[in-house]
Structure 1
Amino acid sequence: MKNDGKDMLDLKSMVALLLSKLWIIILAAVLGGTAAFCVSKFLMPLKYASHISMYIQSYTTFNENPDQNFNNINNSKQLINTYMEVMKDDAVMNAVAEELRGSFENDVLEQNFSVVNGRITPASLRSCISISSVTDTSALKLSAVTKNPEVSAAICNDIAKVAPDYLHDAVGVGQINTIGTAEVYNSPVAPNVKKNTMLGLMAAAMLAACIIVVIDFFDNTVKDAGRLGESYKKAIIGEIQQFDESKKRKKDVDDNHVKLTDKNVPFAVVESYKSIRTNITFALSTSEKKIFTVSSANPSEGKSTTSANIAIALAQGGNKVLLIDGDLRKSCQHKIFGIKNKKGLSTAISKMAALDECISKDVMEDLDIMTAGPIPPNPSELLASSNMENILDQLSERYSVIIIDTPPVNVVTDAMELANKVSGIIMVARYAKTTTDDIDNAMKKIEFAKMNMLGFILNDIKTGRSGKYYSKYRYDKGYGYGVKYEEDSDEDKTETPEKSEKKTEEKNQSKKKKGGK
């Protein structure tokens, strides 16, 4: 059964994941940067700053003694922190507020501060100022930022005006001096559009990356064949990449069946089915019955298409193959191969028609097909009947391999009814759709029925530049096998007697020329 717990994403897997979703991260970054730019440019109010420098002295005068002057500077530094706290006190703020009320109209003040009962609150005024000490000096730098450049300058000048009296009363030591006055600067200091845009861009990109990682961590769909095999201690019969045609479908795999012999089937898919053919041959090598079923946990996971292509691949390998459509409820093998479904498995089991009449012979070279036939009222009972077992015994003498396409395991019990009549079952899982919970439920039913589990086939694997399976399925171009395969197959399909005679004549002429020389 499945191993408990989910492995943490390692660094390599996380990088591969983020690269595969790079377009989402880039899109999120662009949207985040655009939003930050628009908010900064059009919604955030402009703010203006002004400043003034203040110098602390512990004594009123300096003298010619250098040591005494040095001590004065040290004492001034020690007073700085005390002065900074005093200057932010409510008493100082209220005094500055009164000065501002005498200089500006109420409308201007209300745009910049919180005004209650006609008075500027100390907290709103304090939030507009910042006081910092200049490193290794006894100087203070007072800055004010508001929506009005004149108000910012007035705050600095008013604090410089009222602060000395409060500092003298509170501390009683030293004095504070200013040089010049705060000026009005009409260039806004905020918002910083460039900085905000970059922050918005980076924040959106990081948020998108985090969301992608979190979603992937809690995603329990099957995306790794190796982990699937290790979790359930079962073999991986094969991995099939997404067909080019299947990318165009809108609903599910069963709505767009693609046979191995159709045109433009990727070379990697052809090679995958050849590998599956080899693995199935080994899996059945120790079994007396060369009969196996193909199923899936849920509908629309590609088990019918996979069954058909496995049958084609085995027939191309020189085996006499019979494909039985055992899905008596929702048959589709007759649609895949374009044959009639008036007689089939249901009529054969119920003895409404002779066995040979229910088999479509030579649908392809070395491949016969028994369709499902008319839908019966009791599919499970028919598959579990002794007539079904007798039919399989008779057919096993005529065919080297028999494949039965059965309904999904988690939907009905039809596949389980064949447990003692076949050598085993192959489960098809669809990439990024089949969940581990689905497979858990299917495996419990398979084990309960004591059915031999041959292995998994991971179907419909999506490939991409940063995807896990990209490098695995690109060897056709790297070594030129894909081109050669397509050319050979095209020649075989278009070969005519006239072309064959022409080729023979060209070869004979070439031999004569070589002999003449």
Structure 2
Amino acid sequence: MFKIIIQNFHFEKIIWIIKTKLKYMILVGLLCGVLAGVVGLYIKEDTYMAEISMYVYTSPDYITDNGINISPSDISSAGSLLNSYMQILKSDSFLNSVIEEAELNPRLYTTKILKREISSQAIGGTAVFKVYVYDTNPYNAMLIANTIGKLAPQKIISIVKSGGIEILDEATLPTKPYESTSVLKLVIMGVFAGGFLSFVFFMIRGFLDTRYRRMYELQDMFNIPIIGVVPEIEDKNEAGEPDVILRNDSPFVLKEAYNDLRANMLFLNKGEKCPVYAITGADYNEGKTTTSINIAMEFSMMGKKTLLIDADLRNGNIANELKINADYGLSEYLAGIKDLQIKNDVIDKLDVLSSGAYPPNPTDLLVGEKWKSLISELKEKYDVIIIDTPSLGVVADGLEVVNVATSYVVVVREFATRFEREELIIRKLEAVDADVCGFVYNGISVNSEDYNHRDYVNGGDYAKRSNTRVQHRKIFKKKSGSTSKSDTAEA
């Protein structure tokens, strides 16, 4: 766990967690504040204080002899006795005497409880000190204070053998609470405590969440370039799913993403006449198959004769995505059951070899000599071959393509692919000496700081200039009466 947190620790991520979870932190804080307030109303308690004043003498004779003048030295000496007197007043023997004399309930009042309820304070420059008793029952506070005043003089003289004390003022019944439970204070403490605990919770949860959410997290882990960035598409097709397959009317951002990806891949063919690119990923639902289809379409649209092979013999779905009616495919051919069937009626320059029926031994079929021979033959007929492989984090079939692939392209999906899963498949590919030419960072938010066309999508200056140019074209064509097919398509 600590390794994941350290690996995932970035100051920027702290800010991101706070920004995305702030409303929940505030909500939790407010709920805890309300809860603390409700609890405070139920446990609200008033504390009352009763006090007695005592005068300390250095000699017992001073108590009864009114003719003696007390000097400052006597006051100073008397002050030195205060600590000793307070220790006696808080002794277990004395407090037991107070409990018995006041007839207090021994289950509610013990010596430990009384020690907490009793305090004292010396009056500076005098021999007077006060004893304070705090209790939730005002009568008991007065009773305990006066009982101390009643028993203290005799008890102190019997123990100290010198000096003495005289009660100046007896305790009266307190009518106003000395202190009350502050509901407001509890509410404030609840708000801060709830906010802090939720902050800690979201921080720990956030650092344990190993899904990629920014491109730099991927770049920090591997020395492999990101050769394509594909945005999240919100437009839906007839089935109510995101319309992510390239078409003539696809959004600009989708077309531009795969244009950039194709341009980068052109420089990664290692000089081969017909490079073979294996498209893979760590897990399902990362967009691996969609990426394979769109890359193949991009190459075909630039005039290269392209072959798209569905080598996912466990979960192949290219035929369904492209609505190809294929009776059989790659698995039947490799098993020696059927002849090779390549569909060439999808779009111009693009042929497709579907996966066929799911065989019981897909790995064995992909390591056989028939598979290698097939790719060698097909490389003589095509300019580019794109192979859609199984997810390497799920099954090992995709590794077997290494014997025919020029390079691997690994698809990573934002907020779906996890660090540890990606590290697993990269280590697998490195173990078989596969060439990983780059990552495709899929599903990036169009509002992300990492997205190059964010300004265009969100109506920035570039988008405004583009829209202005489009409007000028429409006005010009309307005035000129141009109705050519190319103009109509452009408008």
- TM-score scaled to structure 2, two decimals? 0.78
Partners of 1:367 and 1:483 in 2: CA distance: 36
Q: Check if 1:475 corresponds to 2:475.
A: no
Q: Please tell me whether residue 84 in structure 1 is matched to residue 60 in structure 2.
A: no
Task: Tell me, in whole angstroms, the C-alpha distance in 2 between the residues paired with 1:459 and 1:85.
Answer: 76
* Cα deviations by residue, 1:121-150 (Å, 9 ceiling, x for unpaired): 222333333445578886655444433232
Is the alpha carbon distance of 1:155 and 1:360 closer, same or farther for their aligned partners in structure 2, counting shifts above 3 Å? Answer: farther
Q: Percent identity?
A: 25
CA distance in 2, matches of 1:163, 1:455: 89
Instruction: Name the CA distance, whole Å, in 2 between partners of 1:344 and 1:331.
Output: 11
Matched, 1:232 2:222: yes
CA displacement at 1:195 relative to structure 2: 0.9
Q: Deviations over 1:20-71 (max 9, x none)?
A: 22233223212221221121112x25232213263554556999999x53x5
Structure-1 separation of matches of 2:93 and 2:151: 10
In 2: Cα distance, 1:258 partner to 1:139 partner: 89
Q: In the alignment, what sits opposite 2:481?
A: 505
Rounded to whole Å, the distance in 2 between the matches of 1:488 and 1:339 is 39
Instruction: Find the counterpart in structure 2 of residue 359 from structure 1.
Output: 343
* Aligned-residue CA RMSD (Å): 4.3
1:456 to 439, 445, 449: 439
Deviation of 1:366 (Å): 5.2
Alignment match, 1:146: 135
CA distance in 1, matches of 2:342, 2:126: 103
Letter matched to residue 117 of structure 2: C
What is the aligned length? 472
Q: Distance in 1 between matches of 2:380 and 2:469?
A: 35
The Cα of 1:345 is off from its aligned counterpart by 3.0
Change over 3 Å in CA distance of 1:134–1:267 after alignment to 2 = farther
- State the alpha-carbon separation in 2 of the partners of residues 180 and 262 from structure 1: 97
Aligned to 2:53: 54
Structure 1 residue runs without a partner (length 5+): 102-108, 250-254, 508-517
SS at match of 1:388: helix
AA of the residue aligned to 2:481: E
User: Is 1:305 matched up with 2:290?
Assistant: yes
- The residue aligned with 2:16 is 16
Which residue type is aligned with residue 289 of structure 2?
Answer: S
Partner of 2:488: none
Post-superposition offset of 1:331: 1.4
- In structure 2, distance between residues paired with 1:18 and 1:472: 25
Matches of 1:423 and 1:411 in 2, distance apart? 22
Report the AA paired with residue 342 of structure 2.
Answer: C
Counterparts of 1:144 and 1:470, CA distance in 2 = 67
Aligned residue runs from structure 1 range 260-299, under 5 A? 260-261=245-246, 271-284=256-269, 286-299=271-284
CA distance in 2 between counterparts of 1:367 and 1:489 reads 31
Aligned pair partner of 2:107 in 110, 114, 120:
114
Q: Aligned runs of 1:403-442 on 2, under 5 Å? A: 403-442=386-425
One-letter code of the match for 2:308? L
Q: Which amino acid aligns with 1:505?
A: G
Residues 99 and 206 of structure 1: CA distance in aligned 2, closer, same or farther (over 3 Å): same
Q: How big is the shift at 1:441?
A: 3.1
Partner of 1:510: none
2:308 to 283, 300, 323: 323
Return closer, same or farther for 1:14/1:283 CA change in 2, 3 Å cut-off. same
The Cα offsets for residues 277-335 of structure 1, whole Å up to 9 and x where unpaired, read as: 33333333545542211111233333223333434455566655433222121111223
Contact 1:267 1:482 in 2 (8 A): no
The equivalent of 2:31 in structure 1 is 31
Deviations 1:442-477 (A, max 9, x none): 23321232211123334345688xxx8578774332
Q: 2:361 aligns with which of 378, 398, 423?
A: 378
**1:216 alignment partner, one of 192, 206, 209:** 206
Equivalent position to 1:195, from 185, 188, 198: 185
Q: Using the alignment, how far apart are the partners of 2:397 and 2:269 within structure 1? A: 22
Task: Give the partner amino acid of 1:27.
Answer: L
Measured in 2, the distance between the counterparts of 1:19 and 1:141 equals 55
Letter in 1 for 2:460: Y
Which deviates further from its counterpart, 445-454 or 395-404?
395-404
Q: State the SS of the aligned residue for 1:338.
A: coil
Give yes or no for contact 1:258–1:305 (8 Å, CA) kept in 2.
Answer: no
1:392 and 1:46, CA in 2 relative to 1: closer, same or farther beyond 3 A? Answer: same
Change beyond 3 A, Cα 1:305–1:210: same
CA 1:229–1:180 in 2, change beyond 3 Å: closer, same or farther?
A: same
Mapped contact 2:57–2:165 kept (Cα < 8 A): yes
Q: Distance in 1 between matches of 2:293 and 2:124?
A: 81
Contact 1:83 1:167 in 2 (8 A): yes
Q: Which moved more, 1:298-307 or 1:471-480?
A: 471-480
Partners of 1:450 and 1:484 in 2: CA distance = 48
SS in structure 2 at match of 1:163: helix
Partner SS, residue 181 of structure 2: coil
Distance in structure 2 (CA, Å) of the matches to 1:311 and 1:385: 25
Q: Distance in 1 between matches of 2:335 and 2:209?
A: 45
Contact 1:48 1:185 in 2 (8 A): no
Q: Give ranges in structure 2 of 5+ residues lacking alignment.
A: 484-491
